[in-house]
């Protein structure tokens, strides 16, 4: 039993300088813990609603004072001095209090800040690491680290749209440790920065998640540069390191066509393009290869590539149990990209996770492009036995907070890394 005696939210700024919310939860006997909530830019249409003030005089309307107020007034009034025996009980109370289907009244940002700060306070009161407390929510033993998918190059909404596809990520193939994964990535990142300098005269022009963003003429040039960077760093592409893509194709899909190059292409042609990339480059995972609205063609994509790589749904699924159910029935993909703030409580994300596992899918635990220095996502990736962890690049403190947390966990509890293939 954990009794909440206080909740206190404030508005803070995220890695893009945009407002977000940080809530501190105090339990009986004075244990307290905080959680800060990230924010997406390449968002799925079906995500839970992140409440913004729409006051044009502050942060272009992006302020979070309303969400802060909801925690400090209505949510606190409702939860104060109440005992919660489980996370689920707390989360169900929050969902019922909000009363909408997408948390638009109180705000998914407000609700999630309470959900996670409570989980952290409970873990603290029981003197257990957060990742172990998280693992209890899904009733799974923690036996390994996720393999890292680390952002090397960015385009799309994260980088001024110089090319449509959003991320090319490096996946260390069979590292001994998190430490070794980061060493490899550092070498590849430096090699890639040199390529940017030689080819485009720009060494470190970075995107939202710290990925490099030189003005590649097309997606193939971005993929080729990633392979060259692996090679130049002294590793063998396809043996030592693989590639993962977040195509984020919802954002260049209009009226049934994909605007990947100047000439729009059909869904079938988009699938052929992805197949061609998989034949030419050492790709092990493709996220949002098709648009969130292109349900008819996702099963064809899964059919074409699902036996070779992870066909990951991000915008397609939005960590939403209803959408996952539909995707499982349609055989639309074989892996879930899990972002807790797409759905708004830990318990609902745990349900989404369970459904994905029941379907035999793999799971990538992901942060957002607007992050904070909070590191709870690293504990989630370990606690929920993610097959992959997607945390952006290896620069910028909001990313490093999570990698450093993984190093800290590894230092205390060395474990194997999920290798490819599993």
Give the footprint of Zn ion on this chain (CB under 5 A): 246, 287, 314
Quick check: 176 and 147 in contact, CB under 8 A?
no
Block residue for tokens 């830019």: 41
How far is it, in rounded angstroms, from Cα 349 to Cα 342? 9
Nearer to ligand PGA, 76 or 337 (CB): 337
Alpha helices in 83-176 (DSSP H): 87-98, 108-125, 130-138
Q: Which residue is nearest to ligand PGA (CB)?
A: 40
Query: Does 42 participate in binding ligand PGA (rule CB under 6 A)?
Result: yes
Residue 246: which H helix or E strand, with range?
strand 241-246
Nearer to ligand PGA, 46 or 142 (CB): 46
Q: Which stretch binds ligand PGA (CB under 6 A): 17-25, 63-71, 118-126, 366-374?
A: 366-374
Cross-strand pairs, 365? 338, 389
- Which listed residue (11, 47, 50, 209) is catalytic? 209
Question: What, of Zn ion, ligand PGA, none, does residue 366 touch, CB below 5 to 8 Å by kind?
Answer: ligand PGA
Nearer to ligand PGA, 122 or 286 (CB): 286
Block residue for tokens 């995500």: 47
How far is it, in rounded angstroms, from Cα 182 to Cα 400? 11
How far is it, in rounded angstroms, from Cα 408 to Cα 312? 29
Nearer to ligand PGA, 314 or 348 (CB): 314
Q: Pick out residues in 156-185 that bind ligand PGA (CB under 6 A).
A: 166
Query: Does 40 participate in binding ligand PGA (rule CB under 6 A)?
Result: yes
Active site residue 65: no
Quick check: 213 and 207 in contact, CB under 8 A?
yes
Question: Judged by CB under 6 A, which of 249, 366, 385, 393 binds ligand PGA?
Answer: 366
Query: Does 369 participate in binding ligand PGA (rule CB under 6 A)?
Result: yes
Question: What, of Zn ion, ligand PGA, none, does residue 41 touch, CB below 5 to 8 Å by kind?
Answer: ligand PGA
Both tokens assigned to 143: 């036996």
Active site residue 410: no
Instruction: Tell the smallest beta-carbon distance from residue 345 to ligand PGA (Å).
Output: 18
How far is it, in rounded angstroms, from Cα 383 to Cα 104? 29
How far is it, in rounded angstroms, from Cα 165 to Cα 157? 9
Note the residues at the interface with ligand PGA (CB under 6 A).
Answer: 40-43, 166, 246, 248, 314, 366, 368-369
């Amino acid at each position: 039993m954990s009794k909440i005696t206080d909740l206190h939210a404030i508005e803070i700024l995220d890695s893009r300088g945009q407002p977000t919310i940080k809530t501190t939860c105090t339990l009986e006997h004075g244990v307290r813990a905080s959680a800060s909530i990230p924010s997406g830019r390449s968002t799925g249409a079906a995500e839970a609603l992140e409440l913004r003030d729409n006051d044009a005089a502050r942060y272009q309307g992006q302020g979070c004072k309303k969400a802060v107020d909801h925690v400090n007034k209505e949510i606190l009034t409702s939860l104060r001095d109440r005992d919660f025996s489980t996370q689920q009980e707390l989360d169900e109370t929050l969902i019922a209090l909000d009363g909408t289907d997408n948390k638009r009244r109180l705000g998914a940002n407000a609700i999630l800040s309470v959900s996670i700060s409570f989980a952290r306070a409970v873990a603290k009161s029981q003197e257990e690491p957060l990742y172990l407390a998280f693992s209890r929510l899904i009733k799974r033993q923690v036996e390994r680290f996720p393999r890292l998918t680390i952002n090397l190059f960015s385009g799309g909404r994260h980088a001024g749209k110089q090319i449509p596809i959003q991320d090319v990520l490096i996946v260390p193939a069979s590292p001994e440790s998190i430490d070794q994964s980061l060493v490899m990535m550092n070498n590849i990142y430096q090699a890639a920065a040199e390529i940017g300098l030689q080819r485009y005269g720009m060494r470190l022009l970075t995107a939202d998640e710290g990925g490099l963003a030189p003005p590649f003429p097309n997606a193939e040039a971005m993929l080729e540069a990633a392979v060259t960077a692996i090679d130049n760093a002294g590793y063998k592409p396809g043996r030592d390191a693989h590639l993962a893509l977040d195509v984020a194709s919802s954002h260049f899909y209009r009226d049934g066509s994909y605007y990947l190059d100047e000439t729009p292409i059909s869904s079938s042609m988009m699938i052929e393009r992805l197949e061609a990339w998989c034949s030419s480059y050492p790709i092990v995972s493709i996220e949002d290869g098709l648009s969130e609205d292109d349900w008819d063609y996702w099963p064809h994509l899964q059919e074409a590539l699902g036996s070779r790589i992870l066909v990951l749904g991000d915008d397609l699924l939005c960590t939403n149990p209803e959408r996952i159910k539909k995707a499982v029935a349609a055989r639309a993909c074989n892996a879930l990209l899990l972002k807790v703030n797409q759905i708004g409580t830990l318990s609902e994300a745990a349900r989404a996770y369970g459904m994905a596992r029941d379907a035999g899918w793999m799971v990538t635990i992901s942060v957002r492009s607007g992050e904070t220095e909070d590191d709870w996502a690293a504990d989630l990736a370990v606690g929920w036995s993610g097959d992959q962890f997607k945390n952006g690049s290896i620069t910028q403190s909001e990313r490093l907070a999570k990698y450093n947390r993984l190093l800290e966990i590894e230092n205390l509890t060395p474990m194997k890394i999920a290798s490819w293939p599993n």
